[in-house]
């Protein structure tokens, strides 16, 4: 398999107004093409900083991000942020919001329309194409944001706690939407969350980050079946074991240790 996304020795220090914050100390990991990887870590540990460095929105202090063996350039990635309300333009219809980033690409008008129609269909919003974002529920607005990212056909989709602000039922639906899209389209997804259950439910792999200054505390393979559903997966014994393990690692991370724990806690 070709390594798609390689982060090596990434360090980010924020400097300004006499303050110096080392947000990310040293992050090294790889995301393979077509993988769905979840990143989980305590609040303030530098998850957003990392994604911004990966997407080219911030320049790392040291280290680098390579995509298909080349330094990353902004158009390779698409973002879905938590604040969907602020990421959509209220004066544009749903269709126009999804189409907007495509205008930066050398595409014909016909092709653009095709991509928009296809993306809206994928997220179940065909009927809402002519609506304005403010006419839609929070969950639907987040679907628009996902459609916009999909239509762009990025090499990697970066999602930063995208469902943190929606209610539990909507969140479950959106999680299944992401898994469905990933399986249908074979896209590479890096999904950041502070929610352990969400990370285990969604990911093929979970990267556990330490508290800031951040390093990768552990990489855990999620050996649950590919067919997952909210009802059965979340009550499976293996799901409980995995989430407990991640929870313990995050608690250890918060204490600031690289606590490997007693051997019986270590999953094989
Ligand atoms: P997370 O997304 O995991 O909650 P962030 O990446 O937002 O974490 O922040 C990581 C650390 O960097 C925090 O300590 C935060 O206060 C700090 N930080 C984030 N952005 C800036 C900034 N623009 N200037 C200074 N410090 C920042
Ligand atoms: Mg964040």
Measure 249 CA to ligand 1 centroid, in angstroms: 21
Q: In what order do the strands lie in the sheet with 3-16?
A: 70-71, 62-67, 3-16, 19-32, 214-221, 205-209, 36-40, 188-193, 156-160, 77-80
Mean pLDDT score, 235-255: 91
Instruction: Label residue 266 by pLDDT band (50, 70, 90).
Output: very low
User: Could you say which ligand is closest to the alpha carbon of residue 52?
Assistant: 1
> Nearest to residue 189, comparing CAs of 38, 3, 7?
38
CATH architecture assignment, domain 5-89+156-266:
3-Layer(aba) Sandwich (3.40)
What pLDDT sits at residue 260? Answer: 47
What's the gap in Å between 146 CA and the centre of ligand 1?
Answer: 24
Ligand 1 pocket residue status of 10, Cβ below 6 Å: no
Split at pLDDT 50, 70, 90, the class of 213 is: confident
The alpha carbon of 47 and the centre of ligand 1 are apart by a number of angstroms equal to 8
Q: Give pLDDT tens digits for 72-103.
A: 766 677 888 877 667 899 999 999 999 999 99
Question: Measured from the CA of 21, which atom of ligand 1 is nearest?
Answer: 26
C-beta 81 within 6 A of ligand 1: no
From the list 58, 55, 57, 56, the residue with the least C-alpha distance to 12 is 58
Ligand 1, atom 17: closest residue by C-alpha: 23
Q: CB of 58 closer than 6 A to ligand 1? A: no
Task: List the residue whose alpha carbon is closest to atom 27 of ligand 1.
Answer: 14
Question: Can you tell me which atom of ligand 1 is nearest the CA of 209?
Answer: 3
| Mean per-residue pLDDT, 132-137 | 95
Strand 214-221 versus strand 156-160 pairing type: unpaired
The answer to whether the CB of 117 is under 6 A from ligand 1 is: no
The H-or-E segment that residue 29 falls in is: strand 19-32
The verdict on the CB of residue 43 being under 6 Å from ligand 1 is yes
How much is the pTM?
0.90
pLDDT at position 74: 60
Checking phi first, is residue 172 left (phi over 0); if not, alpha (psi -120 to 50) or beta? alpha
Retrieve residue 20's tokens.
């110096």
Q: Is the CB of 14 under 6 A from ligand 1?
A: yes
């Amino acid at each position: 398999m070709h390594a798609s996304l390689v982060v090596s020795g990434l360090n980010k220090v924020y400097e300004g107004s006499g303050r110096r914050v080392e947000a990310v100390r040293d992050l090294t990991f790889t995301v393979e093409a077509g993988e769905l990887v979840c990143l989980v870590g305590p609040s303030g540990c530098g998850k957003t900083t990392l994604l911004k460095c990966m997407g080219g929105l911030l320049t790392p202090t040291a280290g680098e991000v390579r995509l298909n063996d080349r330094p990353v350039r902004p158009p390779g990635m698409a973002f879905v942020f938590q604040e969907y309300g602020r990421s959509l333009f209220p004066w544009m219809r749903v269709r126009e919001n999804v189409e907007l980033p495509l205008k930066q690409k050398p595409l014909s008008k016909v092709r653009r329309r095709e991509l928009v129609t296809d993306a809206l269909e994928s997220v179940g919003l065909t009927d809402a194409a002519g609506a304005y974002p403010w006419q839609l529920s929070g969950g639907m607005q987040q679907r628009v944001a996902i459609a916009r990212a999909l239509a762009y056909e990025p090499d990697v989709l970066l999602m930063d706690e995208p469902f943190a602000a929606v209610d539990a039922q909507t969140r479950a639906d959106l999680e299944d939407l992401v898994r469905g899209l990933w399986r249908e389209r074979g896209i590479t997804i890096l999904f950041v969350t502070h929610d352990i259950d969400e990370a285990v439910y969604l990911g093929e792999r979970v990267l556990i980050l330490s508290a800031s200054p951040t390093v990768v505390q552990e990489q855990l393979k999620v050996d649950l079946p590919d067919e997952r559903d909210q009802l059965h997966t979340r009550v499976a014994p293996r799901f409980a074991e995995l989430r407990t393990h991640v929870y313990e690692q995050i608690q250890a991370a918060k204490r600031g240790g690289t606590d490997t724990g007693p051997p019986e806690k270590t999953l094989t």
